[in-house]
Structure 1
Amino acid sequence: MKASVTAHRTYTVSRIDDRVYGAFLEHLGRAVYEGIYEPTHPTADANGMRGDVANLVRELDVPFVRYPGGNFVSAYNWEDGIGPKEDRPTRLDLAWHTSESNEVGIHEFADWAESVGTDMMLALNLGTRGIQEARDFVEYVNHPGGSAWSDLRKKNGRADPWNVKLWCLGNEMDGPWQVGHKTAYEYGRLANETAKAVRAFDRNLELIVCGSSHANMPTYPEWERTVLEETYDEIDHVSLHMYFRNPEKNTADYLALNQKLDDYIGTVASTIRYVKSKKRSKKDVTICFDEWNVWYHSNQQDREILDGANGWPHAPGLLEDIYNFEDVLQVGCVLNTFIRNADTVKLAAIAQLVNVIAPIMTEKGGRAWRQTIFWPFWFASRYGRGTALHLVTDGPGYDCAHGDNVPFVDVSGVHDEAAGTVTLFVVNRSQTDTIELDTRLAGFGKLRVETHKMIRHDDLEAVNTADRPDEVAPQDGTGASLDGEHLTCPLPALSYHVIRLRA
């Protein structure tokens, strides 16, 4: 079988916002405690942050990390995480049925973010709290000094403001599971008034309003319409979430889930355009996909803790999905979808970063390693910066629960004019056939194949562990050949590829 792709330098989607390769850390399970923070670990720095984990985060080069939640934020008092650690209260976290020591708060997280070279995206509690607490938090974080909250920050050891630009107005407020769940109108009114209050402090903040928690919500997409009609003039992005599951072990259906993702993005983009037109606005609102990942492997083992059978443990193992090779292909398809929608999806955050449905895993007191999904994210973050190309594709496909004629070959392309490179990210979803990729590259001048990397394994269930950290890892691809403007490359069944061409 053969799949053809045409890429032309002139035909593009949009400049890719680097922030589409962001990440997320919530006070959930071992994401923070034993994830990034473990003072007794041999690699811990003076602040108690694990050096081995920090090195792996630096490899991913995430432009921002969303914090502190997530469901956690909807009952969180940010003031609990400031001041001397010995004076900080222990709270019961209603979202995940655990206890929170508040040993890590805004100061510790900000220092860690600075140490790994990333910015902060901070979430405001609009579940149990509201406008006053939000404006106080923004003042504490961003005001230089001379006010009660900024002077308290200085007293607590941070002289200069952090100047955080990205702020989430709550989390998943459409979800009945959320502490402080609201109707779309209730939430929209609160979000709008909160946005106005923090914008009175700084007009240049980027504010993110809650969209639907997933595309199966009964209120979707009416939720987006109502919320945007209430908030459109005061916000910049609408947040979407989606997790990808394969509990039935149906590979064909699983690897086609990004078709549903594409529809989800398109529907919300259309809703944004509708509200913009209705309001006669010149302002553009875009999508922040600030929670996405594969999540289903750990569901059963988490039930006891989430149901409260073990009381209120501190930092138990929760949502610790162990990812396999099949998940590499899924994450590759999701990232391709974001690149192809670069005109609409401007920010995104893989959920999460360490231990909790994460590309990085740790042992308490021991090793840290890269999960299988680390690699497609690493390649996209490293090579997927530039301009998304509008590709014309043609090739064989298959029918499944998520669409008809789903193409076996899922591909995105990125042109980095400054670097003189064109990069193709390619997944072959066929379970049986090698597919010959035939790509015409027009208008880019003379190119050469600089890099061809492939991830493939004979066992879809193969995983990386502390003892076998490289069981699923990139290897050199074979067969990529360039003849003038024509690139050909064989794509073995169920394989992920990165082909990088340089002028």
Structure 2
Amino acid sequence: MPNAQLTVDPAFRVGEADRRIFGSFVEHMGRCVYGGIYEPGHPNADSRGYRRDVLDLTREMGVSVVRYPGGNFVSGYRWEDGVGPVGDRPRRLDLAWKTIETNAFGLDEFMTWAAEAGVEPMMAVNLGTRGMPEACDLLEYANHPGGTQLSDLRRKHGAEQPYGVRLWCLGNEMDGPWQVGHKTADEYGRLAAETARAMKMIDPSISLVACGSSNRGMPTFAGWEATVLEHTYEHVDYISAHTYYDPSDGDRASILASAVDMDAFITEVTATADHVGAKLRQKRKLKVSFDEWNVWYQSRLQADLDRRGWVEAPALIEDDYTADDAVVVGDLLITLLRHADRVGVACQAQLANVIAPIRTRNGGPAWRQSIFHPFALTARHARGTVLRTEPVGPTYPTERYGDVPVLDTVAVHDEETGGLAVFAVNRGPDALPLDLDLRGLPGLRGEAHTTLSAGDDPAATNTEADPERVTPRELTTPTLDGGRCTVALPATSWNLLRFVPQS
């Protein structure tokens, strides 16, 4: 295979790498909450029932934002059920995931957990079965200092200071016919606009996310965004995007190129938003909140739902992620960073057990799945200014996307420290030599080349019995000569190349 070439220059700036891009998602689904982040009586749980091993892994992963409480769950959720004395809380049927919700964990527990984990909360309001009054009540409870019925109720429940939640989602996937309270674009757009106006009357400092399409393949895609934004553009700050990539059909070449689809999705959503902005004579540019994304073996979900009745916290879509999946996740993170000028929030779904980077056993250990590693390393090292890169190299054919580049890259320059991180994915089945030209950033030296390769065993997974089977490894440190070097990217691999100023 011929060498690929990549030039990195600080003049080609995209935007700052917003820390909110490294978000996650906690939904009342399966064992994400109960048995995931929260398990009273577990040997490693603290006095509040939070699993300390999961807290430690959340911090290690570098999660910045956590979206809560859904997801499909939120469209039938009464937030009041999850506050106050736990013994007084009602048990409810959750229609989204066909489970019984005990409400032992709710808003107050989540906010305390978020503070402990060091993450920013991102709250979703129910615009499926409820509406503007309930959203305003929730905001008053969470953010108003005191002196009103709901803010004083929060104080009575033990939270003297307001939670100060800055990020709010106006519902979830309201374009989807599977959603409780599914609406047309006009119905949702009008409801979201009136809710947004009222919420900002209560707290003008908040940022709001309008529901975009739940995936790019929806028959209403783009038309939905255009209609919703005609109602909401002046009142919101983000339009959401959701996508999952399913390897179940065995088309490995296409699944490894999933980032091609995400890239097109972001471009199309921002183009639609800009069209509406121009039509409405708005100078402000909306950003994208890509608040659900991951690899997901979706074909397994219906069987999980069909094989049981109404139970509490069943094991649900607890996918075992492979080395190939880790390469795909690393590439999706590259795509999010490449659009740093327009993607302001992103949440990998979900945090624990449910299509998650962290897995647990009730009463037992927690461990890192393969997809944990590219997320953690990207969150740790993608700090500073994202630089546009235009790699030159070979292509390969895919059934889903046609010919796609073997190499995908992005670079992030930390102007404060002078360091440079180059993220590179080799989608191909063979090792790829990469010629790097860093002459635009003189005075650097190579610090490390970290890789996670699926070339030898693409189906390898981490398990409770073997939690370290798929982990990153260090390769030969790149050596620059006149600002240039050549590195070998292993077959089907995610790579992090780090450079620092010469001492």
* TM-score > 0.5, shorter chain as reference: yes
Q: CA deviation at 1:299?
A: 3.7
- 8 Å Cα contact 1:304-1:310 kept in structure 2: no
Aligned to 2:442: 445
**What is the rounded CA distance, in whole Å, between the counterparts of 1:49 and 1:313 in structure 2?**
22
Q: Which residue of 1 aligns with 2:58?
A: 57
**Matched residues in 2 for 1:385 and 1:99: separation?**
42
Distance 2:417 2:86 in 1: 47
Report the AA paired with residue 38 of structure 1.
E
Alpha-carbon offset, residue 478 of structure 1: 2.5
**Residue 487 (structure 1) shift:** 2.5
Tell me by how many angstroms 1:305 deviates: 4.5
Q: What is the aligned partner in structure 2 of residue 93 from structure 1?
A: 94
The residue identity in structure 1 corresponding to 2:435 is: D
Distance 2:203 2:249 in 1: 49
Write the distance in 2 (CA, Å) between the matches of 1:157 and 1:450: 48
Tell me the secondary structure at the aligned position of residue 337 of structure 2: helix
Alpha-carbon distance in 1 for matches of 2:397, 2:405: 9
Alpha-carbon spacing, 1:322–1:305, altered in 2? closer, same or farther (3 Å) = closer
Q: 1:135 touches 1:197 (CA, 8 Å); kept in 2?
A: yes
Contact 1:255 1:330 in 2 (8 A): yes
Other-structure match for 1:317: 315
Letter in 2 for 1:333: D
**CA–CA separation in structure 2 for the residues paired with 1:375 and 1:475:** 11
Aligned AA for 1:456? S
Contact 1:291–1:349, Cα closer than 8 Å, also in 2: yes
- Tell me, in whole angstroms, the C-alpha distance in 1 between the residues paired with 2:391 and 2:236: 36
The within-5 A match list for 1:65-464 is 65-296=66-297, 299-300=299-300, 302-307=301-306, 309-431=307-429, 433-457=430-454, 458-464=456-462
Structure 1 residue runs of 4 or more that deviate by more than 4 Å after TM superposition: none
How far off its partner does 1:401 sit?
2.6
Q: Give the Cα–Cα distance (whole angstroms) in 1 for the partners of residues 68 and 6 of structure 2.
A: 39
In structure 2, C-alpha distance between the alignment counterparts of 1:337 and 1:214, rounded to whole Å: 16
- One-letter code aligned to 2:61: L
Could you tell me whether the CA contact under 8 Å between 1:371 and 1:463 is conserved in 2?
A: yes
In structure 2, C-alpha distance between the alignment counterparts of 1:251 and 1:401, rounded to whole Å? 10
d(CA) in 1 for partners of 2:467, 2:334: 25
- d(CA) in 2 for partners of 1:379, 1:420: 18
Q: CA deviation at 1:218?
A: 0.4
* Whole-angstrom CA distance in 1 between matches of 2:269 and 2:102: 38
C-alpha contact (below 8 Å) 2:39/2:51 kept by paired residues: yes
The answer to whether the 8 A contact 1:123-1:171 is kept is yes
Look up the SS of the partner of 2:435 in the other structure.
strand
- Counting aligned pairs with the same residue, the percent is 49
Q: Is the 8 A contact 1:23 1:62 kept in 2?
A: yes
Where do 5+ consecutive residues of structure 1 fail to align? none
Q: Per-residue deviation at 1:63? A: 1.3
Q: Is the 8 A contact 1:351 1:358 kept in 2?
A: yes
Work out whether residues 436 and 491 of structure 1, in 8 Å CA contact, stay in contact via their aligned partners in 2.
yes
* SS of the residue 1:459 aligns to: coil
Provide the residue aligned with 1:32 in structure 2: 33
Deviation at 1:45, TM superposition (A): 0.6
- Asked if the contact 2:393/2:405 (under 8 Å) is kept, the reply is yes
Q: 1:498 corresponds to which residue? A: 496
* Local SS of the residue matching 1:53: helix
Instruction: Write the deviation string for residues 226-282 of structure 1: whole angstroms up to 9, x where unpaired.
Output: 000100000000010000111121211111121111111111110111011001112
- The number of residues matched between the two structures is 499
Partner Cα separation in structure 2 for residue 170 and residue 44 of structure 1: 32
* Cα drift, residue 86 of structure 1: 0.5
Q: AA paired with 2:335?
A: T
Greater Cα shift, 166-175 or 399-408: 399-408
The CA deviation at 1:216 is 0.4
Letter in 2 for 1:464: N
Q: Which amino acid aligns with 1:385?
A: R
Local SS of the residue matching 1:208: strand
SS in 2 for 1:127: coil
Deviation at 1:203, TM superposition (A): 1.4
- What is the aligned counterpart of 1:489 among 477, 487, 490? 487
- Deviation (angstroms), 1:202: 1.4
Looking at structure 1, the residues matched to 303 and 10 of structure 2 have their Cα atoms a distance apart, in angstroms, of: 54
Secondary structure of 2:391's partner? strand
Q: Is the 8 A contact 1:209 1:238 kept in 2?
A: yes
Q: Where do 1:41-56 residues align within 5 Å?
A: 41-56=42-57
Q: Give the Cα–Cα distance (whole angstroms) in 2 for the partners of residues 402 and 235 of structure 1.
A: 34
Aligned equivalents of 1:277, 1:51: Cα separation in 2? 49
- Determine helix, strand or coil for the equivalent of 1:247: helix
Q: Secondary structure at the match of 1:394?
A: coil
**Paired AA for residue 480 in structure 1:** P
Give the residue type in structure 2 aligned to 1:470.
E
Cα distance between partner residues in 2 of 1:156 and 1:299: 42
TM-score with structure 1 setting the length: 0.98
Conserved 8 A contact 2:291-2:345:
yes
Distance in 1, Cα, partners of 2:65 & 2:254: 32
List alignment gaps of at least 5 residues for structure 2: none
Mapped to 1, the partners of 2:284 and 2:388 lie a distance apart of: 25
Distance 1:398 1:305, change over 3 A: closer
Whether the 8 Å CA contact 1:426–1:496 is kept in 2: the answer is yes
Residues 257 and 402 in structure 1, CA contact (< 8 A), matched pair in contact too: no
Give the SS at the match of 2:470: coil
The secondary structure found in structure 1 opposite 2:8 is: strand
Aligned AA (1:427) = V
* CA RMSD, Structure 1 to Structure 2 (Å): 1.1
Output the amino acid matched with 1:123.
A
**How far apart, CA to CA, are the structure 2 residues paired with 1:408 and 1:111?**
44
Q: Is contact 2:304-2:317 (8 Å) kept?
A: no
Query: Partner of 2:247: helix, strand, or coil?
Result: coil
Q: How far apart, in 1, do the equivalents of 2:110 and 2:494 lie?
A: 34
1:304 CA displacement: 4.4
Can you list the C-alpha shifts for 1:322-361, whole angstroms capped at 9, x where unaligned? 1000001100110111111111111100000000000000
Whole-Å Cα distance in 1 between the matches of residues 262 and 375 of structure 2? 17
Under a length normalisation based on structure 2, what TM-score does the superposition of the two structures give? 0.98
Q: Is the 8 A contact 1:259 1:402 kept in 2?
A: no
Cα distance, 1:427 vs structure 2: 1.0
